[in-house]
Amino acid sequence: MDKVRNLKVFLDEKVAEFNVPGFIKDDPVSIPHRFSKKQDIEIAGLFAAIFAWGSRSTIIKKSEALLRLMDNQPHKFCLNHSDAALNRMEGFVHRTFNSDDLLYFISFLRHHYSNHTSLETAFFNKEVLAAAEPVEAALNHFYDYFFSMPWAPVRTRKHIAAPKRNSACKRLNMFLRWMVRQDASGVDFGIWKSVSAANLVCPLDVHVSRIARRMDLLSRKQNDWKAAMELTSRLRALDPADPVKYDYALFGLGISERGILR
């Protein structure tokens, strides 16, 4: 019991160190923080999260480049772009994400926002919210919905993870943390209200998993969905209402060892 208590005290201290406004400027979360309109926050956040592997500075630069192509009005652009504006997207590349993927993302976003006011409904509906693990259900639902259009490129599927494909879903879990979780620090937005922060799943990658295993918070060797759920279960024991706040602690400990994002 003392070991658990001491671990909680230590991790709470690390959360207080990293979950602060100063965290924003060097992190991809700075991209959606450039906007005040809800839909702009959602779209900028989604792209920043999808781009989130590699160095944080490169992720931010690529996100900035995309937003410039969208005239820094992502919601307006997705709904009202011209063919000529879409032509500007040709040649956009971030690692394995290319302009074919980008054009499909924009096509999906145009379809969704033409029928809904928020991206929240792309993840959460009544059936999803009734599930035992609503975030797991939401991620599977989003995957199916995202690729429901008949012109969806096969190659783009690798950019949207899903628990049913046994992915840890690190980037989308990070996006959901941004959208759902809210606290006094103002790093996360908390603009989606249909699901509680208690239901969120901790973003898991090799750096977070390495620190988690070192602290006996994770025993599973593979970094997959089961591992993400195991880690989250351990974190819920430390704070049932806000388990993913400890993502800041684990991530912060990880970047103190290596200067790359996840």
Q: Which of 89-98, 175-184, 253-262 has the lowest mean pLDDT?
A: 253-262
Res 257: pLDDT: 63
Domain range for 239 is: 2-255
Q: Is residue 260 part of a domain?
A: no
Please compute the mean of the pLDDT values over residues 60-83 and round it to a whole number: 97
**pLDDT class of 73 with cuts at 50, 70, 90:** very high
Q: How many domains does the chain have?
A: 1
**pLDDT class of 253 with cuts at 50, 70, 90:** very high
Res 262: pLDDT: 39
Q: Is residue 262 part of a domain?
A: no
Residue 82, pLDDT > 70, answer yes
Q: Is 153 helix (H, G, I), strand (E, B) or coil?
A: coil
5-40 pLDDT, tens digit each: 999 999 999 999 999 999 999 999 999 999 999 999
CA pair distance 227, 148, nearest whole angstrom: 28
Q: Is residue 154 part of a domain?
A: yes
CA pair distance 257, 157, nearest whole angstrom: 32
CA pair distance 59, 25, nearest whole angstrom: 12
**pLDDT class of 261 with cuts at 50, 70, 90:** very low
More reliable by pLDDT, 3 or 38:
38
Q: Is residue 111 part of a domain?
A: yes
Q: Is residue 247 part of a domain?
A: yes
Q: Is residue 81 part of a domain?
A: yes
From 160, 165, 245, select the one nearest 198 (Cα to Cα).
245
